[in-house]
């Protein structure tokens, strides 16, 4: 037992400790917000240096989080808070028109391609149809392939095995691509995440592999009572990093197109 005279002192020590801990948490939060804001400014500056907005094509299997990723990217780029705005919803299965989500503030065009067929029946022509774009939408400058962590194990294994075929089609069209693994909360450990990342990178032949937990509106979305989502540092920072990479891929793609056009023009003059 502590003497009665020591109790106020102990309470002051406890209060000081709590205040100090709260201050550290607040400072960490401020630093995170500053990091996200700085990355967002970098993305916007890079976008302004482009002659035309980049066209980023999102493709993937149904229910893997492709449309939710577009909504998440728009939210992070526009620095939104509060309810999740649904700029695009799940695309229809099979062939059909893609959905175009334009972000006006930081100009970028995100093309939500129709969902790929189930991994077990996916063919090369299916991937070609998805990658080539749709009438009325801009041709893609780069591709984001969306896969979910977890889900039925057999389907997940088949989807991962199809990565090499998908990567081949994308690269044959002179495009670079990013692989985004959604539903990252299904990953149980850092070791499991690293093993999955390594397998994805090997099969897709790319180092651009990201894990993310999308913002979603849930199943109880109501226009009069919209569901509010709290912004998450890791989600924001990851999606902004991903979009920054897409801008670099866009610059590379357009540079290659310009060089090929110049080479063709020089060849024509020699004939």
Q: Residue ranges of the domains in the chain?
A: 14-217+230-264
- State which H helix or E strand residue 263 sits in: helix 233-270
Query: Is 86 in contact with 79 (CB distance < 8 Å)?
Result: no
- Return d(Cα 136, Cα 149) in angstroms, integer: 32
The residue-averaged pLDDT of 158-168 equals 91
- Return d(Cα 109, Cα 27) in angstroms, integer: 35
pLDDT at 130: 86
- Return d(Cα 3, Cα 16) in angstroms, integer: 20
Query: Is 110 in contact with 48 (CB distance < 8 Å)?
Result: no
112, pLDDT greater than 60:
yes
Contacts of 262 (CB under 8 A, 6+ apart): none
**Nearest CA among 218, 197, 219, 216 for reference residue 208:** 197
Architecture of domain 14-217+230-264: 3-Layer(aba) Sandwich (3.40)
pTM (2 decimals)? 0.78
21: tokens are 């801990």
Query: Is 141 in contact with 56 (CB distance < 8 Å)?
Result: yes
Number of Cβ within 10 Å of residue 173's Cβ equals 14
Query: Is 212 in contact with 243 (CB distance < 8 Å)?
Result: no
- pLDDT confidence band for 16 (50 / 70 / 90): very low
- pLDDT confidence band for 17 (50 / 70 / 90): very low
Chain position carrying tokens 């503030």: 105
- Return d(Cα 185, Cα 182) in angstroms, integer: 9
Max mean pLDDT among 83-92, 93-102, 140-149 falls in 140-149
31, pLDDT greater than 60:
yes
- Return d(Cα 205, Cα 27) in angstroms, integer: 39
Q: What distances in angstroms separate CA 248 from CA 38, 106, 156, 241, one per listed residue? A: 17, 16, 30, 11
- Return d(Cα 233, Cα 46) in angstroms, integer: 21
Number of Cβ within 10 Å of residue 75's Cβ equals 24
Query: Is 203 in contact with 60 (CB distance < 8 Å)?
Result: no
pLDDT at 57: 92
The residue-averaged pLDDT of 77-85 equals 77
Number of Cβ within 10 Å of residue 235's Cβ equals 19
């Amino acid at each position: 037992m502590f003497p009665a005279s020591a109790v106020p002192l102990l309470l002051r020590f406890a209060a000081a400790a709590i205040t100090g801990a709260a201050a550290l948490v607040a400072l960490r939060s401020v630093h995170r917000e500053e990091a996200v804001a700085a990355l967002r400014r970098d993305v916007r500056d890079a976008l302004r240096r482009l002659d035309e907005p980049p066209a980023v094509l999102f493709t993937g299997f149904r229910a893997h989080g492709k449309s939710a990723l577009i909504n998440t990217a728009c939210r992070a780029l526009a620095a939104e808070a509060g309810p999740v705005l649904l700029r695009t919803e799940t695309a229809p299965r099979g062939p059909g028109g893609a959905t175009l989500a334009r972000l006006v503030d930081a100009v970028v065009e995100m093309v939500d391609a129709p969902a790929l067929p189930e991994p077990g029946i996916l063919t090369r022509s299916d991937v070609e149809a998805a990658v080539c774009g749709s009438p009325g939408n801009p041709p893609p400058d780069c591709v984001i392939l969306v896969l979910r962590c977890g889900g039925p194990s057999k389907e997940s294994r088949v989807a991962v095995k199809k990565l090499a075929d998908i990567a081949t089609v994308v690269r044959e069209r002179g495009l670079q691509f990013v692989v985004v693994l959604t539903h990252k909360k299904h990953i149980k450990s850092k070791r499991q995440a690293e093993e999955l990342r390594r397998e994805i990178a090997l099969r897709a032949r790319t180092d651009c592999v990201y894990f993310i937990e999308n913002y979603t509106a849930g199943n109880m979305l109501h226009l009069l009572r919209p569901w509010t989502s709290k912004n998450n540092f890791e989600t924001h920072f990851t999606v902004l990093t991903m979009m920054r990479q897409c801008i670099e891929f866009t610059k590379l793609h357009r540079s290659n197109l310009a060089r090929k056009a110049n080479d063709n023009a020089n060849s024509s003059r020699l004939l």
